[in-house]
């Protein structure tokens, strides 16, 4: 039986539940830091490496601060994410601002923080100039269209709304050069949850070649390339971790072949991963409220897709451990369901588990990225708490659970009195 480990015991979690009811997320600090160090070490062979953590994956300032201590910046996609980054002490060019359909106030805040702005469209050059002024450094997001295959989550680049076409990049950088921009970056993000290291090496090659062409034709010097995020994680126990060193080595070789060979060294290499940074080190902890036996057998949890949407949204596999029953035979076939009035609110379908009873604690693995962050309030579900498991074994609450007062805070009940 293939399995996954949890970094806490049933007794430790039961102690936490006495004070804070389930559901909640737990993030393992030690494992996050060890992984961050491993990524940094592997990529130390490429020029000027920096990882900008994709804040959208786990927008919590405690996590961001831990990663800042490991030399990571933040990749922000909205005004609240820029503000979170500022609160975590990550400012200036330690922020990459990659947004969509960006309003003026977001560009203004990004400029105020000194963030690197990554433009999503040709028309945004003039919009940025008018709304916040053009900075000295600008990056553009490239959509390779038919040149690159996408994957299940991100789709086919040709069908994706993101980025500049190849031709638009030539127009855009020329325009920016004429307008006085001095420092340039190039970015793409064409995969999500991709487990094949070759994919990222190939992406780097495409970008390096494009940089060589752009530099030559426009006589501009690129300062960095951002290879995006999208490194996948082994959600299934039988899958393997993506070897960082294989990607780093492939990128370094491609760099020598294209960047050094064309006299374009130094060019800094950036990543903006989210999932692979925190995903495997986050756990959704939930209690069994009811068992239900109709045409199938159901384990009904107090969590729901508002706590972790990936299984319902993508049919994604998330491993499940029944705490304290890890070593029992997994011979019972269950659908593990959430409490939402939505039939696709299922964490697992036809999953073999040990016999489950009311009150059992289930841990849903790999919930540390695009998990809590994707939560919502449909069905009046309240957003749950987040805890950090510190290296000394203590739990620190890094986000409290929402209350009904929070949920009602945007409604004006007093106005109801005079409303007929
Ligand atoms: C622009 C951008 N960068 C980075 C990421 C992070 O992706 P991942 O968590 O798969 O690494 C995303 C994810 O949606 C994204 O849209």
pLDDT of residue 145: 86
pLDDT of residue 31: 98
Give CA–CA dist 130/124, Å, rounded: 10
Longest CA span, the chain: 75
Instruction: Tell me the two tokens of residue 7.
Output: 């970094």
Q: Which of 63, 190, 272 for a ligand 1 pocket mutation test, highest count of atoms within 8 Å of Cβ?
A: 272
Give CA–CA dist 190/268, Å, rounded: 19
pLDDT of residue 389: 98
Q: Is 96 in the pocket of ligand 1 (CB under 6 A)?
A: no
Residue 76 a catalytic site member: no
pLDDT of residue 392: 98
pLDDT of residue 13: 98
Mean model confidence pLDDT for the chain? 96
CB distance 24 to 239 below 8 Å: no
What is the arithmetic mean of pLDDT over 10-31?
98
pLDDT of residue 27: 99
The yes-or-no verdict on residue 150 having pLDDT over 70 is: no
CB distance 224 to 204 below 8 Å: no
For the CA of 231, the closest atom of ligand 1 is 11
Cα 369 to ligand 1 centre (Å): 10
Query: Regarding the domain delimited by 29-276, which CATH topology (the fold level of the hierarchy) does it fall under?
Result: TIM Barrel (3.20.20)
Q: Ligand 1 atom 10: the closest Cα is on which residue?
A: 230
Domain at 10-25+279-408, CATH class: mainly beta
pLDDT of residue 156: 76
% of the chain at pLDDT higher than 70: 97
Q: Which of 55, 56, 95, 164 for a ligand 1 pocket mutation test, highest count of atoms within 8 Å of Cβ?
A: 56
Instruction: Tell me the two tokens of residue 338.
Output: 């959430």
CB distance 139 to 186 below 8 Å: yes
Confidence category of residue 154, pLDDT binned at 50, 70, 90? low
Domain ranges of the chain: 10-25+279-408, 29-276
Q: Is 185 in the pocket of ligand 1 (CB under 6 A)?
A: no
pLDDT of residue 103: 96
76, 139, 140, 341: the active-site residue:
341
Q: Is 54 in the pocket of ligand 1 (CB under 6 A)?
A: yes
Q: How confident is the model over 211-227, as pLDDT tens digits?
A: 999 999 999 999 999 99
Q: How confident is the model over 60-82, as pLDDT tens digits?
A: 999 999 999 999 999 999 999 99
pLDDT of residue 2: 66
The yes-or-no verdict on residue 152 having pLDDT over 60 is: no
- Of 154-158, 174-178, 259-263, 377-381, the range with the lowest mean pLDDT is 154-158
The yes-or-no verdict on residue 1 having pLDDT over 70 is: no
What is the arithmetic mean of pLDDT over 164-188?
98
For the CA of 232, the closest atom of ligand 1 is 10
Pick the residue with more confidence: 89 or 420? 89
The yes-or-no verdict on residue 159 having pLDDT over 80 is: no
- Of 34-38, 136-140, 340-344, the range with the lowest mean pLDDT is 340-344
Show contacts of 41-45: CB within 8 Å, 24+ apart: 42/244, 42/245, 42/247, 42/248, 43/244, 43/248, 43/269, 43/271, 45/248, 45/249, 45/252
The yes-or-no verdict on residue 153 having pLDDT over 60 is: no
What is the arithmetic mean of pLDDT over 341-363?
97
pLDDT of residue 21: 97
What is the arithmetic mean of pLDDT over 157-174?
91
User: How many Cβ atoms are within 10 Å of 123's Cβ, its own excluded?
Assistant: 11
Cα 57 to ligand 1 centre (Å): 7
């Amino acid at each position: 039986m293939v399995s996954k480990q949890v970094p806490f015991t049933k007794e430790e979690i039961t102690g936490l539940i006495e004070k804070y009811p389930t559901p909640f997320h737990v993030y393992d600090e030690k494992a996050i830091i060890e992984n961050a160090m491993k990524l940094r070490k592997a990529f130390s062979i490429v020029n000027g490496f920096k990882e900008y953590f994709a804040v959208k994956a786990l927008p919590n300032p405690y996590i961001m601060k831990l990663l800042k201590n490991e030399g990571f910046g933040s990749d922000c996609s909205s005004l609240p994410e820029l503000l979170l980054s500022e609160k975590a002490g990550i400012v200036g060019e330690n922020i990459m601002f990659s947004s969509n359909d960006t309003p003026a106030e977001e560009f203004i805040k990004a400029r105020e923080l000194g963030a690197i702005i990554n433009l999503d469209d040709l028309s945004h050059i003039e919009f940025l100039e008018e709304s916040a002024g053009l900075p000295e450094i600008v990056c553009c997001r490239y959509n390779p269209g038919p040149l690159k295959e996408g994957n299940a989550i991100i789709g086919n680049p040709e069908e994706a709304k993101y980025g500049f076409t190849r031709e638009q990049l030539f127009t855009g950088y020329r325009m920016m050069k004429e307008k006085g921009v001095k420092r340039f970056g190039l970015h793409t993000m064409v995969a999500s949850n991709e487990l094949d290291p070759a994919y990222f090496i190939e992406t780097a090659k495409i970008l390096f070649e494009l940089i060589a062409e752009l530099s030559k034709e426009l006589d501009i010097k690129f300062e960095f390339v951002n290879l995006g995020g999208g490194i996948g994680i082994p959600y299934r126990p039988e899958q393997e971790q993506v070897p960082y060193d294989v990607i780093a080595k492939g990128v370094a070789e491609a760099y020598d072949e294209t960047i050094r060979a064309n006299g374009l060294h130094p060019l800094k290499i950036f990543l903006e991963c989210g999932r692979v940074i925190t995903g495997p080190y986050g756990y959704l902890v939930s209690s069994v409220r009811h068992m239900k036996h109709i045409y199938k057998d159901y384990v009904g949890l107090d969590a729901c897709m508002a706590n972790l949407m990936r299984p319902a949204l993508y049919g994604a596999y998330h491993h499940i451990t029944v705490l304290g029953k890890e070593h029992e035979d997994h011979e019972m076939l269950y659908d593990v369901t959430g409490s939402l009035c939505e039939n696709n609110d299922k964490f697992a379908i036809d999953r073999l588990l040990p016999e489950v009873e009311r009150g059992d604690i289930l841990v849903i693995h790999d919930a540390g990225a695009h998990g809590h962050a994707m939560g919502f309030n449909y069905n009046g579900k309240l957003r749950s708490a987040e805890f950090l498991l510190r290296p000394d074994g203590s739990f620190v609450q890094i986000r409290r659970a929402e209350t009904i007062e929070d949920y009602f805070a945007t409604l004006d009940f007093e106005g109801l009195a005079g409303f007929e």
